[in-house]
Amino acid sequence: MPPIQIVGHRGAKGEAPENTLPGFLHARALGLNAVEFDVHLSNDHELVVIHDNTIDRTTNGTGPVANFTAAELAALDARAAFPDWPDIIGVPRLDQVLDIVDDMPLIQIEIKTDTPDRLEEVVAGVLQHVDKRGIGQQALITSFDAVAVEICGRLAPDQARAFIGRPTDPETVDTALRLGRGHVQFHLFRDHAPDQLQRAHDEGLILGGGPCDTIEDLDAAIELGISGVTSDFPSLLLAHLAQTEHERS
């Protein structure tokens, strides 16, 4: 059994266009058994998979995600970081992404910050998709926004969920214990105070973290007892783990 789970960040953000259908297909082709992605609400109240609250960085358009319908988002060119990618690809809907990844052992769905009323709609919609597909045991609902995690706990008390804390937040573990269900995520995990991670262990929480994009990051995560890490370059980490396992056998 590997010492740590590698989670493809936004599919495999450093290797294929992030949060796109080809990106998740690439993650599958690598043999990953876990992916992470982000969910926003479109203008026509569809759940769409994109990280930022605007389309500027990842597509050929400009403006807030919330100003566009799902069809308009799908018609964009989302290859910004990979302009030579062979096919034009747009912003996908959540159901399209789940069609690709819903048999994976871990599906990490991040709810992006929004207004409380829109968060209510987003979380309820995500949980509806999870329930309809019967993937509650595989899904981990996460957010930097404590309101989103609270809504998830209220609507689906048994659903695994995790607060994501930044290094500047000394209350990360307390918030995770209050709102989560046995999980906590440490963003920029190497920058968190060691006593925070140790306390999370002491409280019996399952630790996740990211980004983990180098062998040094991976070694540090294993040393810190982190169970799973999100990575933009999962190929690198998978190869290192395979080589390490080969050397031990």
9: annotated active-site residue? yes
Task: Work out whether the CA dihedral 188, 168, 142, 205 comes out positive or negative.
Answer: positive
Two tokens at 83?
């302009």
192: annotated active-site residue? no
Q: Among residues 9, 26, 187, 192, which one is catalytic?
A: 9
| CA 30 – CA 46 distance, rounded (Å) | 29
| CA 234 – CA 106 distance, rounded (Å) | 15
Is the separation of the CB atoms in 90 and 75 below 8 Å?
A: yes
Is the separation of the CB atoms in 144 and 111 below 8 Å?
A: no
| CA 141 – CA 161 distance, rounded (Å) | 4
Report strand pairing: 206-210 vs 183-187.
parallel
SS3 state of residue 185: strand
Q: Among residues 51, 129, 183, 187, which one is catalytic?
A: 51
Active site amino acids: 9, 51
